[in-house]
Amino acid sequence: MAIIRTVDLTKRFKELTAVDHLNLSVEDGEVFGLLGPNGAGKTTTVLMLATVIKPSDGTAVVGEFDIRKNPDDVRQLIGICFQEPKLLWVSTPWDVLNWHAKVCGLTKQERKKRVKLVLEDVDMWDHRRKNVHGLSGGMRKRVEIAKILIQRPRIAFIDEPTAQIDVIGKHKIWNMIRELRDEGSTIILATNELYEADILSDRVAIMHHGKLLICDTPKTLKDSIPGGDIVEIRLEDEAAQTLVTELRNFPEVADVVETTTKNLRIYLNRVEEVVPQIMKLFLSNNLPIASINMAEPSLDDVFVHYTGLTIEEAQQKVH
């Protein structure tokens, strides 16, 4: 069941069209990745869905409410973890979270309990009385994430959760996002980190220049690249041409390149299904395999396939 559905959602800032007739739906309980370079329109989309800014055209239904007609009701369902931590005028992580919990309607008793629990979860308990402006970037980001964990909204928008975070911090935040999903929140994850989108998202929508290029599961997206998987096989003897032809006849195989007489590079799709068949073929032809190496395409390859640019190149073009 779709919990978010956008209909030609568009946002223009004077001449710039930040989001251009976006049509997508997010299923209840999934982690939905919005992937794209900076300037792709991810944050603007999130801000529109969160009723922070109004669309220029089109609309979206969040939960059962239209963002144009019932913004107050939409805000009861959502929570945002912003790209840049918003730490308010209060001075300590405890105060920031306590204030947030208060505004979200938690009772004093609940607040005290949940703020403590979450501060411990994000490893900020020992820093709870420090001035937020003296905290490191990673710590500030954890306080920002903690807001969502305290609120436990039905729909959580998380914008670039691990930007400027070290590797250990990234893993902690990824685990927190998974826990939030396991507790029943639907998560919209806006990111330009391909690996992050790949490992966390149930489905990924790739945006570029404000437009939706494609939306599906990471696996389907990767499989959608013709010959995206690569299998390199080193044989103990030379491969017969009939075998190469047979390999080319597999519907999943896009191309077979003989790099040497004993080395074959096979470009194909759905590698995990096809490799056993290939092995069977070699065995039935009494052709021993010395080694086999497989490489799957990444979401970066998907992005390149649909835009002709790597995500870094796309970002450089924006700047």
Partner 1 sequence: MVMRTIWFVAQISFFGLVVSRLVVPELKGVYFQYYVSGIIIMMLYSTSVFIGYDIFEEAEHGVFEYLLSLPVSRRELVLGRSIGGGIRSFIFVGPLIVIALAIVGVANPISFIIALSALFFFALGVSGMSITIAVALKSGDRFDILMGVLDALIIRLSTVMYPQIFIQNASQLYAAVARFNPVTLASDLFRWGVGIERYLTVTPLVAVVGLVGFFFAFTFVGVTIYEKRLEGGGWQ
Question: Which residue lies nearer to partner 1 by CB, 35 or 80?
Answer: 80
> In the bound complex, what is the minimum distance in angstroms from residue 76's beta carbon to partner 1?
5
Site string for partner 1, 19-48 (x = CB under 8 A): ----------------------------x-
Binder to partner 1 among 86, 130, 178, 270 (CB under 8 A)?
86
- Look at residues 172, 150, 138 and name the one whose alpha carbon lies nearest to residue 105: 150
The CA-atom distances, in angstroms, between 315 and each of 12, 191, 218, 265 are 20, 13, 21, 32
- Between CA 89 and CA 132 the distance in angstroms is 10
What b/e readout covers 208-231, taking b as 16+ CB neighbours within 10 angstroms? Answer: bbbebbbbeebeebbbebeebbbb
268 with 252: CB under 8 angstroms?
yes
Binder to partner 1 among 5, 75, 178, 262 (CB under 8 A)?
75
- Between CA 277 and CA 300 the distance in angstroms is 28
> What are 245-250's contacts with CB under 8 Å, separation 24+?
246/281, 247/278, 247/281, 250/274, 250/277, 250/278
Question: Which residue lies nearer to partner 1 by CB, 56 or 310?
Answer: 56
* Binding of partner 1 by 72 (CB under 8 A): yes
Binder to partner 1 among 7, 21, 28, 71 (CB under 8 A)?
71
Question: Which residue lies nearer to partner 1 by CB, 82 or 282?
Answer: 82
Question: Which residue lies nearer to partner 1 by CB, 106 or 314?
Answer: 106
Tokens of 135: 């905290």
Binder to partner 1 among 27, 64, 84, 238 (CB under 8 A)?
84
Binder to partner 1 among 21, 28, 29, 53 (CB under 8 A)?
53
- Between CA 105 and CA 111 the distance in angstroms is 9
- Between CA 41 and CA 30 the distance in angstroms is 21
> In the bound complex, what is the minimum distance in angstroms from residue 206's beta carbon to partner 1?
24
* Binding of partner 1 by 103 (CB under 8 A): yes
Question: Which residue lies nearer to partner 1 by CB, 199 or 318?
Answer: 318
Binder to partner 1 among 91, 95, 104, 211 (CB under 8 A)?
104
Binder to partner 1 among 28, 29, 30, 52 (CB under 8 A)?
52
* Binding of partner 1 by 98 (CB under 8 A): no
Question: Which residue lies nearer to partner 1 by CB, 88 or 290?
Answer: 88
* Binding of partner 1 by 285 (CB under 8 A): no
Render 19-49 in DSSP notation, one character per residue: EEEE--EEETT-EEEEE--TTSSHHHHHHHH
167 with 143: CB under 8 angstroms?
no
> In the bound complex, what is the minimum distance in angstroms from residue 53's beta carbon to partner 1?
5
Question: Which residue lies nearer to partner 1 by CB, 24 or 78?
Answer: 78
Question: CA 137, 138, 141 angle in degrees (round to 5)?
Answer: 85
Residues that bind partner 1 (CB under 8 A): 13, 47, 50-54, 71-72, 75-76, 78-80, 82, 84, 86-89, 103-105
